[in-house]
Each structure stands twice: as C-alpha cells, then as structure tokens.
Structure 1
C-alpha cells in the first residue's frame, strides 16, 4: 500500500513539472468571435501559420475596443481597432482577465498550432514585480522584444524561448494553457 501511495505521489509531482510551462497565476478568460470580424488581424492570425497578433483591450466612451498589432501584413484601420459594439462583444464578455498586464499575443505557430502568450516580459515582470514592460515586434515581426531588458523572444515555437540577450536561468514567455478556435461558430477561446 505504501508503494502504491509513493508511486501515485511521484506521478503527481512529475505531472506538475510538465505543467510548469503554462501560467495559472495571471487570470485569462478571453473569448472572441472571428465570424463577426472576418477580416481582422486577429482572425487572420488564428487561421494563418506563422502569424501572431498582439491584442489589447481599451475603453473608449464606455465601449470596449480591441487594439490589434499583427506581426506581418498590411491592414486597414478597421481591422486593427475592433469596436466591440455587439451584444456578444461588449455586453456579455469581459476583457478584464487578459493576463498580467491586460494584453495577449495570440497566433498560429508554424509547427505547434494555436498559441497564446502574455504581452508582459516575464523576466522584467519577475524582477520588478509590476506589469509595465510590454513586448513589441522586432526583426520585421519575426520576434518579440522587451524595451527595458532588450531580451528577444521567439513566439513561433512551443515554449517562447529567448533568442537574443538572454542569461542563464531566464524565463520563457508566459504561456496560457488553452487556446482553441471553432471555425463553425467562429469562437476563439484563451484561458488558463
């Protein structure tokens, strides 16, 4: 009996180690309907391998807007500033739970499918304890860079590892566990 309990506990500890790449500390509960915004940069990012999009909510005159910054392509203004003025978009959904600093990077990795990362630099967030160091696109949208620490991250892989200016023991991008898109009803969901 003791052996069985020991094996079960060991299995649990090992399973916890696998989950460490996903963040559960910063709440994320993002829902978006691609069928309502079929030409948006976010819709294209979800459907196109290698494309990612920074997503940040803002409030303008009590209406939520999703501000989008894609890593590639030429866009019309309405596809980058989405007014959430439908009953689904503005009244039934909350955009308060969007990670450490209320911003996500969502897209479709070339090799690993849909991915969602936090917009905050994980190393500066840990070092300074404040969500005020957002990542931005660099190298023509190929990578993400922190303006504070100058670390450069690769979002187009399974882990969000550092490609430049890293140090031993650095953290990879904060990644969220569940990202799914249902092309039938257009629902995109990200949560941890």
Structure 2
C-alpha cells in the first residue's frame, strides 16, 4: 500500500513538473510578442503590385520600413526597403482609393507609427516596431527610429548604436549589445493573402 502511494506521488510530481514546463514555454512564446502598442495595419498589394512592400512580403531576406504621412489631406506610405533599385513611385505610395485613404486608419502602427515588415529567410513573415526597444524603455519617448545599416543586413539605432538582426525569429542584437537588452519589438499576426492581395499586421 505504501509503495502504491509513493508511486502515485511520483506520478503526480512528474505531471506537475510537465505542466510547469508547458506553462513556462507558453509564457515565453507569449512574451515574445508585444501587445502594448496597438497595431492594425492593412495593405492591398493588388493596388500597388510593383511597390517595395509588395515585393518584400514575397521575397525571403527582404524587409521594408513603412511610415505613413499626410500631404494635402491624402495619406501616403513612405517605404524604405533594405535592398533593390526602385522607382520613386514604388517607395512613396499615395493612398488615393477610397479604401486606402478613407476606410483604413494608419494611426495604429506601433509605438511611433512606423513598422518594419518583411520575409525572413528562415522564419517567414515578420513585423517589428521601428523604434529601438532599449531607448524607448530607457528614455520613455518614441524618438529613436531604427535605420538600415551594413547594406541592409541589419537595423541600427543612432542613439545607442545597437545593431539588430531583423532576419531572425526574435530580432536579436547583433552588435553593441549588453546583458539584459531587449530584442526588437515584434508583433504577433502577420498574414499575406496572395489570392486577395491583402497584407494584414496586428497584435
């Protein structure tokens, strides 16, 4: 009888241990994505078939910085790809259609209204915030945008000089990092429906 009780105790301990491992893994996966800064970005590639962003979502290794701005009451998307030669019209997209300029909002685009969207070589579609996560936390203002460096291979912050690798599952720091540093702010849902020609990013 005592042996049976001990066996049950061991089984229960093993069960609890396994449950803890599963919960820790789930928490780790959850913490990988940011839900604090709202993102709700929709882009119709079918309307801009030659744009840098359209090519980025279907080309492994290619990423594009996406920033909205308004000129004469019309929304534009300014695109800065990490590679390629482009026409000016493929980098400054005018949202002239009703769905692009009236029905879609470009205010929910992360900490400072800027995203980095593209297709990782090994991990599929990715969407990151354009702000340096470490300067954003340290200084508390969305004033520290990243820019392309090393011929578009990485993203760099001018303030802290950290260099991030966007072509990775986590957006880790490639250069000038320190213990406890944050990786790129990453958003959970990135979907490209090629049939409908629609890209959606949200958290």
- If the length of structure 1 is used for normalisation, what is the TM-score? 0.94
State the partner residue of 1:21: 32
In the alignment, the residues of structure 2 paired with residue 10 and residue 168 of structure 1 have an alpha-carbon distance, to the nearest angstrom, of 25
* CA deviations over 1:134-184 (Å, ceiling 9, x no partner): 000000101000000000000001000001000000000000000000000
| Alignment correspondent of 1:66 | 77
Aligned match for 1:84, one of 73, 81, 95: 95
Cα separation, partners in 2 of 1:146 and 1:66, compared to 1, 3 Å: same
Query: How far apart in 2 are the matches of 1:135 and 1:115?
Result: 16
Q: Distance in 2 between matches of 1:67 and 1:166?
A: 29
Q: Aligned partners of 1:136 and 1:5: how far apart in 2?
A: 46
Question: In proportion to residue count, which structure has more helix?
Answer: 2
SS in 2 for 1:47: coil
Quote the residue 1:31 is aligned against. Answer: 42
Alignment of 1:171-190 (within 5 A): 171-190=182-201
Number of aligned pairs? 190
Listed as ranges, the gaps of 5+ residues in structure 1 are none
**Aligned: 1:57 with 2:68:** yes
**Displaced runs of 4+ in structure 1, greater than 2 A?**
4-14
Q: Within 1, Cα distance between the matches of 2:153 and 2:39?
A: 25
The two structures have a TM-score, normalised by structure 2, of 0.89
Give the aligned CA root-mean-square deviation in angstroms: 1.8
Name which one, 1 or 2, has greater alpha-carbon Rg. 2
Give 1:88 deviation, angstroms.
1.1
Question: How many angstroms does 1:10 deviate by?
Answer: 7.7
